[in-house]
Amino acid sequence: MTRDDDRAATATDDEPLLVLPDDLRHELKEPMGPIETDADRLLKAVDGPLIAVGDVVTYHLLEAGRPPDVAVVDERTKRKTVDEEIRETVTEETTLEVANPPAELSAAMIEALVDALARDEPTTILVDGEEDLVALPAIVAAPEGASVVYGQPDEGMVHVKVADDHREAMRDLLERFEGDTERFWSLLEGC
């Protein structure tokens, strides 16, 4: 399968799967792990697969010499377009492209995440829309001991070392989203 075929195969199922209800937004403001501002220091605590959610986080990890095993980017930070250097750096090795509207998780996004986690080579998913919520299913789907790193606006990078307690907390949170939770969980099966 060519890279273009690969992208097209994943990008067809972009209808809303889960939608973040307004009453849960406040719960997502709190970081799910320690905040780090130095990528080198953060990477010293990484000893398994590395999943990065966000352009600036991905950029800092790449600049520190550690390409994420899975990177999810949308060419935006704090709702604004990232600068050209960050955009070019984080999208240079784009493998998959998917649509994922703001405050939602599309089926295409979840399928791409599961696909990327199963690959042996580093995989970058370029999102048309917004990637902010992808850290939640990434924590559920990532293997034990993996690191999920995402940005906390104006504070730094949040590092979640995946363990059962994190998975359980994310499962509980995702169950409270609106939409087709049954299909969502079926797409994450096997992770």
Binding residues: 55-57, 74, 131, 154
Q: For residues 75 and 33, what is the distance between their CA atoms, to the nearest angstrom?
A: 24
Query: Which residues are annotated binding-site positions for GTP?
Result: 55-57, 74, 131, 154
Q: Identify the three-state secondary structure at position 168.
A: helix
User: Taking the alpha carbons of 95, 60, 36, 41 in that order, is the dihedral positive or negative?
Assistant: positive
Q: For residue 154, what are its two tokens? A: 């104006």
**Number of other CB atoms surrounding residue 37 within 10 Å:** 11
DSSP structure class, residue 83: P
Measured distance between the N- and C-terminal CA atoms of the chain, rounded to whole angstroms: 23
> If we measure between CA atoms, which residue out of 119, 68, 59, 69 comes closest to residue 90?
59
- For residue 169, the tally of other CB atoms under 10 A from its CB is 15
Residue that has been written with the tokens 């849960």 in this structure: 24
